[in-house]
Homo-oligomer: A and B are copies of this chain.
Amino acid sequence: MKKYCFGIDVGGTTIKCGLFNTEGNVLDKWEIPTRLEANGSFILPDIAKTITEKLDERGLTKNEIEGIGLDIPGPVDEDGVCMLAVNLHWGKVNIVREMEKLTGIRTRAANDANAAALGECWKGGGAGHKNLIMVTLGTGIGGGIVVEGKVIAGAHGSGGEIGHVHVTDELSEPCNCGNVGCLEQVASATGIVRLAKMQLEKDQDTPSTLRGITGLDAKMVWDAVRNGDEVADAIAEKFGLYLGRALAGFACVTDPEIYVIGGGVSKAGPVILDYVQKYYRQYAFPGCKDAAFALATLGNDAGIYGAAKLVL
């Protein structure tokens, strides 16, 4: 094992970079812009350049680098090939081969949600565990499945796409994926707003601080939950039912030790775990009922940690 590695988290606007020692301590963090022009063809060369510059700046040689881990917003298969990454304007890109050619350093690549899961498992809310399911509740829902310390990419790069399990027949509008009734439609930040509108419509006679707000968002709903708002509580119950029951279903598959909840929605704090766990415990197979729940702790750094872990 060499002394250092890089963890690179490629987003649609910014590329987050981390230089780590191989014990997992971050020594340096910086960002470069994501250049989307020319079908995103500058992205990997830009990363290679910033890595070379960092090596020079620190007086390090390639021989001291264990590898480069890199994650992107799109499916990546076991061999480090991306088939399509809309947010990077990429079609098929063999990330591992191209980066190794550009840098001469061993490279591994993964989906961003999968890397975040690995990061949280290594140094975040799931630290100390080897089997984990990570749920990222943002505008959409991302997920990552870690088994025996390794993230499951899946045969089609769709491992951990848990936002797209079917959870309800009550919706008619389609999910971004084209299906109808996905978890993402009722438990992401936008999904919680959808649930809120449905509940306010249904409980017309119940007073609620959420009524009549323009620009209602998920944070307002959770604030209202904490303030004892009756309609907000009903919304949180629905959210807990959909997410908790879905996780109970996943427990039958990989049976993790711990579920880690991250993403913007998780900033509402432990209250969301209460609602999710209530329904998880109701629906989980008896052997899995005592699994742990935790909030993510690495925030926006989960990606660089997980990317770094890919090469260790």
Contact = CB atoms under 8 A, between A and B. Distances in A.
Counting chain B CB atoms within 10 Å of each CB, the highest count among A153, A165, A286, A290 belongs to A165
Contacts of A145: 253-254
Interface string A125-146: 0000001000000000001010
Interface stretch (A194-202, A243-251, A297-305): A243-251
Interface in A153-172: 153-166
Within the oligomer, what is the number of copies of this chain? 2
Nearest to A145: B253
Contact of A164 (B148, B162, B164, B285): B285
Given A147-B147, A147-B152, A166-B245, A158 B285 contact: yes
A248 B166 contact: yes
16 contacts: A143-B252, A145-B253, A145-B254, A152-B255, A156-B291, A158-B255, A158-B285, A158-B288, A159-B254, A161-B255, A165-B248, A165-B249, A166-B245, A166-B249, A166-B283, A250-B252
Counting chain B CB atoms within 10 Å of each CB, the highest count among A166, A250, A257, A286 belongs to A166
A285 B161 contact: yes
A161 B254 CA distance: 9
Contacts of A251: 158
Given A148-B78, A166-B245, A179-B283, A288 B156 contact: yes
A152 B145 CA distance: 12
A250 B248 contact: no
A215 interface: no
A156 B159 CA distance: 21
